[in-house]
Chain A
Amino acid sequence: MLRFTLRRTLQIIPTVVVVAMLIFVIFSVVPGTFAASLFADGKRAADPQMIARLNEEFGLNKPLMERFATYVTDLAQFDLGTSFRTRQPVIDLINDRIWASLQLAIAAMAFALVVGVPLGFLAALRPGSVLDTVTMIGAVSGLSMPQFWLGLLMMYIFALQLNWLPSFGYGDGSFRNLILPAVTLGVTPLALLARTTRAGVLDVLNADFIRTAHSKGMSEAKVVRWHVARNALVLIVTTLGLQFGSLIGQAVVIEKLFAWPGIGSLLVDSVASRDIPVVQGTILIIVLWFLVINTAVDLIYAAIDPRIKQE
């Protein structure tokens, strides 16, 4: 297990290197520069001298290979560069935002997990029941509802009408501020989790070894606890991992809607103003997050299923 953990963790490194290179290449070929975007209000033409001066300052007129070399050497020292816009180190900008994002993503996932998995489980144990039907209708609605609309609805009901929760903002970082955006963000993974849990449990219930378990004279509850739960977990963990990884990216809309100071809104703002170092840094962090989650999922798999470690 230790060797497996080590190997899976070390595999992150080459992936990060490749991704970092790709990010650099992509953003060196996108049209538009930071300097041009500063004057892009369309009313007056950009002053060519001004643009040249800015490009000089940010080193954008150096040859591509040289810029790449600088980028890689800085990266190796965990230096993500300096923002064009605010002249602050990118790492500081991200550090200001990432924790709010993680908080949001974890809260949303916890909500999805705590509600979605038990619902899917119960639905599978009583297929065709009222609970099953209601859960599956709810899951389909949850999947098809646009998040921004759901967010507005929640704001309207819980903040404006009932006045229970603040409508937007991070506030002092209190739990009350977190509830609305986290629930809104959590609805999609919740619906997916409920559905995959149901499908997974139904699948396991039909397996031969469940018949064996029944033939031993076990009660239904023990069959579920001893034999169904662990086997269904594999599918649940897969869904969980995939959803968790992409949640930070998905959070952009929610962060904008609820004025949540997360990494998603930082990314969108930086793209709009061609603040390339910030964009590169933010994407790298999101990729890293994805890889960490993926590795965690693999490790959990190995802990659940003894067949995986052997490969």
Chain B
Amino acid sequence: MTVPLLDIRELCLGLAVGRSVVRPLLKDVSFQIMPGEAYGLVGESGSGKSVTSLAVMGLLKKPLAVSGGEILFKGENLLALPKRAMRRLRGNRIAMIFQEPMTALNPLSTIGRQIAEMFVLHQGKNWDEAQELAVEALMSVRVPNPDRRARNYPHQMSGGLRQRVMIAMALACNPDLLIADEPTTALDVTVQAEVLRLIKELCAERGTAVLFISHDLGVIASICQRVGVMYAGCLVEENETRALFTDPRHEYTRGLLGALPRFGSRSQHGRQRLVDIDSIIADRSKLVETRFIAPRCAEEGSRS
């Protein structure tokens, strides 16, 4: 068996005041990503998908802090890495695409320059060389007229184009791992499909592993080989994508799948109602402590 590229072991994090964690948000999250593999994390808003990815990037902002566990990248614990060494990895070996293409780019800087920064930072190029490489990077994400586009500012581009720019930027240094945090959520459906295909193809071409975060099971299914389901700060189920859909093991996953509309599916009553997950807002801190999932699962019986 090969060594995993990313190995997250019992990661705990939460809101911290001083050194003590006052409100846990993630509890014992463990999963592994193999080199070149596409791994999906699904879950509802606030289930801890994004904080997990930010923890990997080392971009957690106060008052969020890791309180336990390890994040091993190629066998090296990122949490123990000095700041400078972490900066050399960030963007270079582990890159990230964010949800909001509209605001994720600096509005006062040309996109060519913003991509070029990657080459200046990590490959020691001068600005002229970096600018040329930026044009090539734009070409690789199939932006038409890359020469002219490199001189554009973000406000001159559509959301889909901007997300392509983000992808070009993230893949500029050929990272080993690409973290994509809901990269298509803010885009309309046709553009979404294009961007997804682009990520899939480019990463397959370059052998880049992907950690794909989404609340959309359909999107995850189209891109990932394995999926982890997160709920209230815990990884409640992990499986091959196909197996997850055909044989969900956890109540919450079943709930999620039931809530998915399917084309042409009907019950004997003519129309099928989508199952909704009972939305009692549970006290998150208790949930994390006990892994208690029952209050929100329809099939767990006693619904108060």
Residues on A facing B (Cβ under 8 Å)? 207-209, 211-219, 222, 226-227, 230-231, 304-307, 310
Contacts and interface: CB of A to CB of B under 8 A. Distances in A.
A209 B99 CA distance: 11
A137 B169 CA distance: 42
A24 B158 CA distance: 52
B155 interface: yes
A230 B108 contact: yes
Interface residues of B, number: 27
Nearest to A210: B106
Given A208-B98, A218-B121, A226-B117, A307 B87 contact: no
B96 A209 contact: no
Contact of A231 (B87, B89, B106, B155): B106
Contacts of B98: 208, 211-212, 215
Contact of B155 (A207, A211, A227, A307): A307
Contacts of B153: 306-307
30 contacts: A207-B103, A208-B103, A211-B59, A212-B98, A212-B104, A212-B106, A212-B169, A213-B106, A215-B91, A216-B90, A216-B95, A216-B117, A216-B118, A216-B121, A216-B169, A217-B89, A217-B90, A218-B87, A222-B121, A226-B117, A227-B109, A230-B108, A231-B107, A305-B107, A305-B108, A306-B108, A306-B153, A306-B155, A307-B153, A310-B155
B121 A230 contact: no
Given A208-B103, A211-B98, A307-B107, A217 B155 contact: no
B131 to A, nearest CB: 15
Contacts of B121: 216-218, 222
Contacts of A211: 59, 98, 104
Given A209-B107, A216-B169, A230-B108, 14 more contacts: A209-B103, A211-B104, A212-B104, A214-B59, A215-B91, A216-B95, A216-B121, A217-B92, A217-B122, A218-B87, A226-B117, A227-B109, A306-B108, A310-B155
Interface of A is mostly: helix
A6 B25 CA distance: 57
Nearest to B170: A215
B108 A215 contact: no
Contact of A215 (B59, B109, B122): B59
A211 B105 CA distance: 10
A214 B57 CA distance: 9
A227 B87 contact: no
A230 B91 contact: no
